[in-house]
Amino acid sequence: MLELIAAVLVVLWIFGLVTAHTMGGFIHILLVIAIVVVLLRIIQGRRIL
């Protein structure tokens, strides 16, 4: 479940890069959340994807 959330957040971040500055701050917050989720998965010793 967390992997799916991380993947969706990364896709949204990439979409934000394409749409330039219209949602800039929000997309970068999503990126930070996705990175935190992936790091938590690594720390817990579970598979990332």
Express each pLDDT in 1-49 by its tens digit. 777 888 888 887 777 667 666 656 777 777 888 888 888 888 888 665 5
Express each pLDDT in 11-23 by its tens digit. 877 776 676 666 5
pLDDT score for 4? 81
Q: Cβ distance 48 to 23 under 8 Å?
A: no
- Burial category of 43 from C-beta neighbours within 10 Å (exposed 0-12, middle 13-18, buried 19 and up): exposed
DSSP conformational letter for 44: H
